Structure 1
Amino acid sequence: MIPVSKRLLANFINICCVLNILLRSVVKNLGVTSVFLVANTCILVSTQPAFAQARQVTGVRLDPTDSGLEVILETPSEEQPQVFKTRFGRTLAIDIPNTQLRLPEDKGFRENNPASGVAQVTVVQQNPNSVRVTVTGTEAVPSAEVIESAQGLALSVRSPSAAAETLPAPPTPETPQAEPPAPTAPSAAGEEAIELVVPAVGEEGYLVDEATTGTRTETPILDIPQSIEVVPEEVIEDQDADTLDDITRNVGGFNQFSSPNYQDFALRGFRLQEDSIIYNGLRGNPFDKFAPLKLNNVEQVDVLKGPASVLYGQLEPGGLVNIVTKKPQEDPFTEVKVAPGSQELAPGVFDQLELQLDSTGPLNESETLLYRLILAYEDSNSFRNFQELKYKSIYPSLTWRIGEATTLDFTAIFYDEDREGQRDRGIAAPGGDVSAVPIDFTTNEPGDIAKSEGSALQLDLEHEFSEDLELEAAARYAQSDYTNNYHEPRGFLDDGRTIKRQYRNQVLSDSSYTFNVNLIGNLETGPVAHKILLGADATRTTSEGSPNRFASPISEDGTVPPLDIFDPIYGQADVPEDYVFDSEFLFESEQFVYGVYAQDQIEFSPQWKGLVGVRYDSFDQEFTEFTTSGDLESEQEQSDSDLTLRGGIVYQPSDNLSFYTSYSEGFSPQDTSDQTPEQGGPFDPTTSEQIEAGVKAFWLEDRLSTTLAFYRITKQNILVADPEDPDRSIQLGETESKGIELSITGLITENWRVIANYAYNDARVTEDTNPDNVGELLPNAPKNSAGLWTRYDFPNSNFGVGGGLNYVAERETDISADENVNLPSYVKADLALFYTVEDLEVAVNVKNVFDEVYFVGGFGETGVFPGAPRTITVNAFYTF
């Protein structure tokens, strides 16, 4: 049984108190049915009174220990202070309120390289009534825990270098060779001391306690007044996640919208496509929207919930996904991965094979130039008829430490993907019956193919002018080419069993240039500390299709043979020789977006923090259509601008607990193809607002984190049919999403990892010119969903076991009753076994253990998308 500590109990009581207030006000405003009962009677944990006598720190000394350092602050006060911890980059900051430095010559304290793994220790007067101690690691941020000490308060901090020596079974680390510096002032008789112990860090499992995505600065997640969830590399590897679709289970309210072969999702009820997936913090997704984003080079995936236009420009209101790639490392290693697999219904015993090489290390003796090279190859069949994948990719990256204050990173992507028997359009569901045909059904012909290839080059520059001023700049060029030669389902004939099909011959090309620059500065206005962000970004995207050729059935006797879904006969015509193309055209689309923004992260005190942000955006977009002879056929242009705001407050009664509330805005231009005067255009962008409140906490000695969030999002200016002219649109549509999310991540014990979530999301149409649509659920947005994954490593053993469950409630595929298909709810179970011996690790992953038939999303009767049946993969990793 895990003992209940005083701090754990105090956190629970604090949560009860504030949740009582939140559930009375926030939940009432959100309109969400109460699902929690919180006690009305509670006792708040005492915080340091503002009017108490400030303790005096008269001396600082560093004493080496067997496991690191002790940082001792000498003070005559006998009271144990309350401390507050934050993390910035590789630095752990410990704030001690109601404390003043009284060192000789009124100077602070600084010691460089006092111990192995510790680059610097400083003690400064943060503001008139608060002292800050910072401990900076050489490679990574130290971690910390508060313990009792005979001399007063002790804060146990573990340095990353010592951690490497203690895992997996902690031996006794070598005693650091650094001699302790002399104390800056002698201890007076009777003085007590504040003691900060600095030993080695333990493994954090799946826990990530800071992210840059929420603020574009290195900020602890506790300090961000908005929900953000991080899926780290450890989860990706343990679950054998292959694409972004595979990790939606780990994030509350994040679901697949359609085919696993697309980048198509729903987040907090709103559809999220490639424009809302950013790469290393930059807009301009380097992967084509019909090419699933592979995770071979991914370090972690950050999911920021709700409108994020203040920092990232035009976005859908559900949020954004930031893909963070693996970086070069100082410690050299090479890892080889071999992963054969087998899928139910697919031909062959081992019908899947994945190979990967990951190598990194320094290129010179001074370790100022680091490299990383990742190569990946995949050849796999599918449970769907005629579908086969061949995938090749190269991910090179370099880090150049130009000087102590300047770093330049280069990252590149090159990929080539062939998908035979595709573009995938799902299986038929006549009359809404998803079980009418087997899940291996397809409307594609054996010769159909979807081919995608692309590349991206990115540079990131970081320069520190001083401890309080930093410049970050980034630029990327990305391009992709996509070829479609496939049969598109176009509805049923009158018999209800025969699908009309259209043959599409498409060549699509996209390219983008993206730039971003940020200036980050720290300053103080009296007792208030500020972290100021001033930034600007710009993206130019060009798309063209040449040619776009359609061969349509038009009628039952059209040139493209229809398909009987209950008795499909493929190969009835030579493709495309027998087809008559009744539509051929070229198009060009160009969009230029730029914005400037400002943000202030405010620390009023260690307990109270705030965030405000504003952005001005401007965009120009153009869509031009030509005939195949080059004559102009149509042209649409639009220019507009928008101002978006963001603000939030965080209350942090202790170093491992925070309550927050926030407001954020978003906007997104309408599609250029909807801007013609004949359609009623041009139209204003859609706009959105979110109100969110919640609580974040760390438990079990900061090993486990939880986030509970309440939110309401409203999206306006949606195009709906003009009731007086069905060929035109008007901007009277509105949708609303409101709900509750809970996430849990980290270590229950040192051998037991967990990542789990639950989401209740009610996303509906609230305004529409068609009254039948009002109140309808948004497509592919389940009301309830939950995910659980856990791994346990047996002590003193090379074995581990993992497993999880994924629940998704029923969904609608369309707000129109005529087009809608009801997708049933499902529960999917996965299992994993792990074995490690020296440099070899073997994992056996069984996905969909019970071979559940389920559907991840869909568009209507002619296209719902089944999930994969039982799949077994053996992953072997060898590192040298």
Structure 2
Amino acid sequence: MFPRSIAIRAVVASTSLIVPGTLSAQVGPVAVELDMIDVSASKGSPAPKGLNLATPGRSASRLGLTPLQTPASVDVISGEVVRERGQFTVNEAVTQNGVGIASTASPGTGNSSFSARGFVGTNSVMRLYDGVRLYTSTQTFPFDTWNVERIEVLRGPASVLYGEGAIGGVINVVPKRPTFERVNEAQVGFGSDYTRRIAVGSGGPINEVLAYRLDVSRNAGAGWLRPNGDFENLAVSGALLYRPSADLSVTLSNDYGDNAPERYWGSPLVNGRVPRALRDTNFNVADSDIRWRDNWTVLKAEWSPTADLTLRNIAYRMTSDRLYRNAEGYTFLPESGRIQRSLFADIRHDQEQVGNRFDATLRGEVFGLQSQSVLGFEVNRIRYRHINNRPYGGTDEVDPFAFVPGRFINLAGTAPGYETNTDQYALFAENRLVLTEQLSLVTGLRYEAPSIRNDNLRDGTRFRRDFEALSWRAGLVYQPLPDISLYASYATAVDPVGNFVTLSLAQRDFRLSNGRQVEIGAKGLFWDGTAEWTLAGYRIVKDNLVSAVPGQPGVGVQVGSQSSQGVEAALSLSLWENWRIDANVALLHAQYDDFRQTVAGQVVSYAGNQPVDVPERVANLWVAHAFAPRWEARLGVQHVGSMVSDFANAVRRPDYTLLNAVIDYRPEPNSRLSLRLYNLTDEVYAAARGGNAASVLLGRPRSVELVYYVAF
């Protein structure tokens, strides 16, 4: 029997919002159109372990509240659900399951940049790994979902929890960690373009006080692009848990990732579209290279000396080495019919971060009211060295229909460029005050003071800049019934001037960006907790906005303000015994409120324009049907609205809708053979901006994989 207890998040709005009536490009001042295909949904299968409204989490609050108790929008995506749906990357897991999250990923962002609530990038949508933040402009780990226990998504400002940034939200990837329950599992897969996957995991007790967890995964393939479309990666996660008593636990973990993705920076637009004849061609140089190596070592300790006091400490060291050597810009020349390549960039990142976070949870009463508080501090030291061949000069031309990759051009020579040393400390506090049996007040406060020293390793100059920031939030939660919550909240946030660790001399005098959000919402469970729903409305305003200039790496401008307002809804339920529906939709309006820039000697205003890389409509639908004993089918629909690639909104990327499907057969209750089909309609779509404004990054075409999973 298919369990009715399955309840993963999904959509409240009609499915007409998910599959729009037309897939044609939206027309802007200069429309960018892609060749597109017009598109005119097991008995005895295990229940996905979705952690939803009634399950405590720590991404939206360190108080350990459930989403029902939290005055904010929170998604919790089960790792088991992610793997059942064939989502092998964190990017796919977040964008195909989370509410209102769209990918803006490119190799330059480590293939892990997102848009949420009208704001874009690694600063505005922060990435965490097991609750720990890496201070960087490029997040390259984690990338594989094999070792993921769950992914928690907090939408809206989160500076009060994690520091400057995160005005659009936070994505926290929580890995599998040791338990005293023994488990062994393995997975192997093969697919289109010679894709190969293998993964193993094991965990359980060593003795009465020690437990372990080890996960290893490796993926490789030839890729759908030619040439340089091949990829390979390795992820290794290991942890030891020491629990001598029920009130004390210590976990030592180390996570390592080595990722060499496809060396693809985009496809050139020819008369506003990517011709199908060029769809599979990668115009990068023959000796291109991309390599990311990350290592995270974390020591966590938690001690509850009394029922009213819990102490936690997290000490960590992370290192990240990144290599890029590519021709990143591609422009079609109509006069000659050739492709001009530019932005020949040879870049190395060498980063180390050492930090510690301590907090204490206190439970008691304040003026006779039940109260729970968290008080803590955090310190970080980040060393970041940037080696490059700026100003990334050089161009050449190639024939798009008789393509010869050629070699990398390095005019300036590669040498150390600059090094930054960032010291950051912060004090933070949270409180939940139970005013009545039905009404509670949740508040938070954070003060931080980062200090950045930048040393130019070429001319010997240096500068130092100190910042201070105060963030706070407050929200009321009213529960007329135990399974229903109504809430209203106000939150503030600060964004850095680009990114602290890459702060340049030109950005030194920029002010911190300030943001504020008002949100109201409702959420609840019904049908005895087997179904869930959420509904939220919000408005965010961000002042002193620092915006990157598309196609000009390292260049930023500080503009007046940007705002967004929207509604989000989700629904999850089992309509019938063997059916499940999970769906969500986000509709928003985002705009530059005050944005002036000098273009060709004249001041141009972009006020009222749609921000770059911000879709104003995002929706997901998953339908699962256990249609026979041991058999289950899943159909996924992902819709992303139109986006723009420039401030003037002259270059518009069309909306797109993707169909994915999975058919599972379970030879035994603990095994699964899956046939996975991606992009069923073989839609040609722009997944992101390319390396320059004249190109786009295309999403993968139709592909298929066969995967076998077993637990033992």
What is the CA-CA distance between 1:590 and the residue it aligns to? 2.0
Percentage of pairs with the same residue: 24
- Check conservation: 1:208, 1:232, Cα contact below 8 A: no
2:231 is aligned, of 373, 385, 389, to 389
Match of 2:116 in 1: 267
1:87-98 superposed matches below 5 A: none
Does 2:419 correspond to 1:588?
yes
| Cα 1:828–1:674 shift into 2, 3 Å | closer
What is the CA-CA distance between 1:762 and the residue it aligns to? 1.0
Match of 1:254 in 2: 101
- Check conservation: 2:358, 2:377, Cα contact below 8 A: yes
What amino acid does structure 1 have at the position aligned with 2:704? I
What is the CA-CA distance between 1:382 and the residue it aligns to? 1.4
Separation in structure 2 between the aligned mates of residue 842 and residue 728 of structure 1, nearest angstrom: 49
What is the CA-CA distance between 1:861 and the residue it aligns to? 3.4
Separation in structure 2 between the aligned mates of residue 551 and residue 693 of structure 1, nearest angstrom: 47
1:694 is aligned, of 512, 521, 527, to 521
Does 2:396 correspond to 1:561?
yes
TM-score by length of 1: 0.70
Give the total of aligned pairs.
651
Helix, strand or coil: the match of 1:219? Answer: coil
Match of 2:54 in 1: 209
- Check conservation: 2:86, 2:662, Cα contact below 8 A: no
Match of 1:644 in 2: 471
What amino acid does structure 2 have at the position aligned with 1:697? G
Separation in structure 1 between the aligned mates of residue 267 and residue 351 of structure 2, nearest angstrom: 29
What is the CA-CA distance between 1:515 and the residue it aligns to? 1.5
Does 2:662 correspond to 1:827?
no
Separation in structure 2 between the aligned mates of residue 781 and residue 769 of structure 1, nearest angstrom: 19
- Check conservation: 2:446, 2:470, Cα contact below 8 A: yes
1:323 is aligned, of 170, 173, 179, to 173
1:434-472 deviation per Cα after TM superposition (whole angstroms, max 9, x unaligned) = 447632232202321111212111111111121111111
Does 2:373 correspond to 1:532?
yes
Match of 1:156 in 2: none
Higher RCO structure, 1 or 2 (CA under 8 Å, sep 6+): 2
1:517-544 deviation per Cα after TM superposition (whole angstroms, max 9, x unaligned) = 1111111135421111112112222211
1:81-108 deviation per Cα after TM superposition (whole angstroms, max 9, x unaligned) = xxxxxxxxxxxxxxxxxxxxxxxxxxxx
What is the CA-CA distance between 1:746 and the residue it aligns to? 5.0
What is the CA-CA distance between 1:841 and the residue it aligns to? 1.4
- Check conservation: 2:298, 2:317, Cα contact below 8 A: yes
What amino acid does structure 2 have at the position aligned with 1:532? S
1:18-65 deviation per Cα after TM superposition (whole angstroms, max 9, x unaligned) = xxxxxxxxxxxxxxxxxxxxxxxxxxxxxxxxxxxxxxxxxxxxxxxx
Separation in structure 1 between the aligned mates of residue 545 and residue 50 of structure 2, nearest angstrom: 43
Does 2:375 correspond to 1:375?
no
Separation in structure 2 between the aligned mates of residue 571 and residue 227 of structure 1, nearest angstrom: 47
Helix, strand or coil: the match of 2:468? Answer: strand
What is the CA-CA distance between 1:704 and the residue it aligns to? 1.3
What is the CA-CA distance between 1:750 and the residue it aligns to? 5.6
| Cα 1:755–1:332 shift into 2, 3 Å | same
Match of 2:620 in 1: 787
- Check conservation: 1:700, 1:748, Cα contact below 8 A: no
C-alpha RMSD of the superposition: 2.9
- Check conservation: 1:636, 1:675, Cα contact below 8 A: no
Separation in structure 1 between the aligned mates of residue 517 and residue 333 of structure 2, nearest angstrom: 44
Helix, strand or coil: the match of 1:273? Answer: helix
What amino acid does structure 1 have at the position aligned with 2:201? D
What is the CA-CA distance between 1:432 and the residue it aligns to? 3.4
- Check conservation: 1:720, 1:733, Cα contact below 8 A: no
What is the CA-CA distance between 1:857 and the residue it aligns to? 1.7
Separation in structure 2 between the aligned mates of residue 473 and residue 430 of structure 1, nearest angstrom: 55
What amino acid does structure 1 have at the position aligned with 2:359? N
Helix, strand or coil: the match of 1:314? Answer: coil
Match of 1:106 in 2: none
Separation in structure 1 between the aligned mates of residue 616 and residue 370 of structure 2, nearest angstrom: 41
Match of 1:865 in 2: 697
What amino acid does structure 1 have at the position aligned with 2:619? A
Match of 2:82 in 1: 236
- Check conservation: 2:283, 2:405, Cα contact below 8 A: no
What amino acid does structure 1 have at the position aligned with 2:363? N
Unaligned runs of 5+ in 2: 1-11, 13-42, 598-603
| Cα 1:729–1:479 shift into 2, 3 Å | closer
2:160 is aligned, of 286, 289, 310, to 310
What is the CA-CA distance between 1:660 and the residue it aligns to? 0.3
1:364-443 superposed matches below 5 A: 364=207, 366=208, 368-386=209-227, 387-419=229-261, 422=263, 424-430=264-270, 432-435=272-275, 438-443=278-283
Separation in structure 2 between the aligned mates of residue 483 and residue 857 of structure 1, nearest angstrom: 21
Deviates more, 1:712-721 or 1:535-544: 712-721
What amino acid does structure 1 have at the position aligned with 2:677? V
Separation in structure 2 between the aligned mates of residue 391 and residue 774 of structure 1, nearest angstrom: 43
TM-score by length of 2: 0.86
Match of 1:753 in 2: 580
| Cα 1:572–1:461 shift into 2, 3 Å | closer
What amino acid does structure 2 have at the position aligned with 1:312? Y
Match of 1:277 in 2: 127
| Cα 1:327–1:840 shift into 2, 3 Å | same
What amino acid does structure 2 have at the position aligned with 1:239? R
Separation in structure 2 between the aligned mates of residue 264 and residue 721 of structure 1, nearest angstrom: 14
1:512-551 superposed matches below 5 A: 512-548=353-389
Separation in structure 1 between the aligned mates of residue 241 and residue 420 of structure 2, nearest angstrom: 35
Separation in structure 1 between the aligned mates of residue 555 and residue 351 of structure 2, nearest angstrom: 29
- Check conservation: 1:430, 1:436, Cα contact below 8 A: no
Separation in structure 2 between the aligned mates of residue 208 and residue 847 of structure 1, nearest angstrom: 30
Match of 2:537 in 1: 710
1:532-585 deviation per Cα after TM superposition (whole angstroms, max 9, x unaligned) = 1112112222211235466622xxxxxx52234x43532445x46xx5436755
| Cα 1:302–1:285 shift into 2, 3 Å | farther
2:72 is aligned, of 207, 220, 226, to 226
Match of 2:199 in 1: 356
- Check conservation: 2:620, 2:639, Cα contact below 8 A: yes
Does 2:605 correspond to 1:772?
yes
Separation in structure 1 between the aligned mates of residue 321 and residue 221 of structure 2, nearest angstrom: 22
Match of 1:663 in 2: 490
| Cα 1:802–1:822 shift into 2, 3 Å | same
Helix, strand or coil: the match of 1:311? Answer: helix
- The structure that has the greater radius of gyration is 1
Separation in structure 1 between the aligned mates of residue 613 and residue 392 of structure 2, nearest angstrom: 30
Separation in structure 1 between the aligned mates of residue 640 and residue 651 of structure 2, nearest angstrom: 16
Separation in structure 2 between the aligned mates of residue 809 and residue 302 of structure 1, nearest angstrom: 23
Separation in structure 1 between the aligned mates of residue 315 and residue 652 of structure 2, nearest angstrom: 44
